[in-house]
Amino acid sequence: MADDNSHTNDTDGIGSTPGFRTAPEERSLTDDESSQGLFDDLLSGEPIFENKEVLRPSYTPHELPHRSDQINKMATILVSALRGETPSNILIYGKTGTGKTASAKFVSQELEQTSSKYSVPCEVEYINCEVTDTQYRVLAQLANKFIEKNHEWIDDRLDELTDLHDRVESIDDDRREMDATKPSTTEADEHQSPQSADETDDLDPPETNGDDGTDEAPSTATDSVSEPTVQFQEESVVSSDGDDDDGGVADEASGVDESTPTHPLADTPFDSIDAVTERIEELEDDRDSFEEVPMTGWPTDRVYSVFFDAVDYSERVVVIMLDEIDKLVEKSGDDTLYNLSRMNSELENSRVSIMGISNDLKFTDFLDPRVKSSLGEEEIVFPPYDANQLRDILQHRSDVAFKGDALSPDVIPLCAAFAAQEHGDARRALDLLRTAGELAERSQTDTIVEDHVRQAQDKIELDRVVEVVRTLPTQSKLVLFSIIMLEQNGVHSINTGEVYNIYKRLCQELDTDVLTQRRVTDLISELDMLGIVNAVVVSKGRYGRTKEISLSVPLEETEVVLRSDSRLSDIDDVQPFVQARFDN
């Protein structure tokens, strides 16, 4: 009875058995269900995007609208690589967002796929020279890529040769085992029981080789073939499962069995297992000889030598794609391009071609004439997109990027119009569409409308200004801060002299070196080029010409970014003197 009560108490959750923990666990689960975390509300809405990565610049689409002419021209130049020939060097020009890099990557992917299809050794290596902007880094990155590819090739070849070696060794072991178990003729005669002459006469007559009845001596395969042939034939006597059958017995007269598989070395360049072993040792030595190049610390000529040996290790055609090639020339000169464009004359096994991509149409003006002549063998220009072309591109991407009817009809035309106003920048159009989708998703709406696009336009513009202003040098920040202070004091059409006067006072307050007025004028021109200010040269008649300067970015947001700099945060109390002037 006590056991029954105890059992009853346990099931009621009163005892100390595991049944007691049931109620707290249920309460804990209820608490978890009732509590809402930080991201629960954000995840409650339906996502608008199906694949957001399609709208990013790094994505390479399977189809590039309105770039078929440029793609076909690149393909006709690079097709010679599939024939084992050296393609002409290519220079690709065009403004930002005109599809240069995407088209080049698309052609490169097609080239590598076709080379794999026809078993032609052809490779494309991509380097972004805005990041890898020195000769050492370019050569080191290329060297390490080819060293890695060589290691992969050597490892695959070693696996094949090791398997071949094991199969040949297994066949030789089977042959030796078969020879060891086969009794000799002397041993057979000794074990044979003695027979009388009468019994011998009663035996079947021996085989004859003709009508004359002459006995034929038994022949063996070893008497009629050379020793290497014996090795192959004896292996072929053994079937794949190791059992002998009637179909696997060699013809004693010829020593060859045509019904058995060939020896593993028959269709290889090796004549013995020792040759296979020697080749394996050579490949292992080659693999150990390739030393990875560190990103710093070696002499440049040593890095070039390692790169040269790595790329020339096997037969192949290599296309080196240098994106933002003008950044490399600007940072480290044209030595890298000279070495790459001239190395074909020294290579024995491989061939190298260069594909350069640049936003600057005039960067070749700074190249050595020899480099310019060899590098610019073929030139392809990518014109800016117009609004209709941008609309097609956005429509093509949006079909994959968004779900169902997530876009209102006026979204894509508005994004295309905004991007076409600048210089046909497809990258800007894609950023607009993606940012509009993100804003709509954050507001938990199911459809992207025109207002989201306009908000995205303002956000992107502000983000660009913030990033540009934040990364300006200190002297440029002081010049820009001088212009902002003049506008805050009601001065319009600011001239260079007024900016320079306030700039000098700010430098004195911050204990900073004061640049000359000519240098400050250059800094104003740089701000104009970045789109932060608008500087127009106007004529004052007999008083000469001057620059009239005005701010092109939001004043308050720009001032906040400038004051985030620790050095400029101390100029709160500075009230510069604004010179009175008489304007016509």
454 is an annotated ligand-binding site residue:
no
397 is an annotated ligand-binding site residue:
yes
Where does 123-272 have alpha helices with state H? 135-181, 185-191, 197-202, 227-237
Instruction: Count the neighbouring beta carbons within 10 Å of the beta carbon of residue 394.
Output: 25
102 is an annotated ligand-binding site residue:
yes
Distances (CA, A) of 553 to 16, 31, 371, 467, 476: 72, 51, 41, 12, 15
Q: Which two tokens stand for residue 46?
A: 């339906």
Instruction: Count the neighbouring beta carbons within 10 Å of the beta carbon of residue 348.
Output: 6
Distances (CA, A) of 455 to 44, 62, 338, 459: 24, 30, 48, 6
Q: Which two tokens stand for residue 7?
A: 């059992």
d(CA 302, CA 304): 5
126 is an annotated ligand-binding site residue:
no
Distances (CA, A) of 196 to 199, 200, 202, 206, 215: 5, 6, 10, 17, 21
Where does 402-490 have alpha helices with state H? 411-422, 426-442, 450-470, 474-488
What residues have CB less than 8 Å from 372, skipping those under 6 apart? 364
37 is an annotated ligand-binding site residue:
no
d(CA 407, CA 398): 9
Distances (CA, A) of 283 to 151, 268, 349: 10, 17, 17
Instruction: Count the neighbouring beta carbons within 10 Å of the beta carbon of residue 497.
Output: 13
Q: How far apart are the first and last CA of the chain?
A: 114
Give burial (CB, 10 Å; 0-12/13-18/19+) of 548.
middle
Identify whether the C-beta of residue 439 lies closer than 8 Å to the C-beta of residue 110. no
d(CA 46, CA 349): 57
d(CA 151, CA 134): 26
Strand intervals (E) in 348-471: 350-358, 378-382
Q: Across the strands, what pairs with 223?
A: none
| Side-chain half-sphere exposure of 108, counting CA atoms within 13 A | 22
Distances (CA, A) of 444 to 46, 67, 289, 409: 8, 37, 59, 19
d(CA 266, CA 401): 56
Q: Can you say how many angstroms the Cα of residue 145 is from the centroid of all Cα atoms in its chain?
A: 11
Strands 316-323 and 90-94: unpaired
Q: Can you say how many angstroms the Cα of residue 301 is from the centroid of all Cα atoms in its chain?
A: 26
d(CA 267, CA 164): 11
d(CA 416, CA 387): 5
Identify whether the C-beta of residue 401 lies closer than 8 Å to the C-beta of residue 52. yes
Strands 350-358 and 533-539: unpaired
Binding residues: 98-102, 385, 397
Binding residues for ATP: 98-102, 385, 397
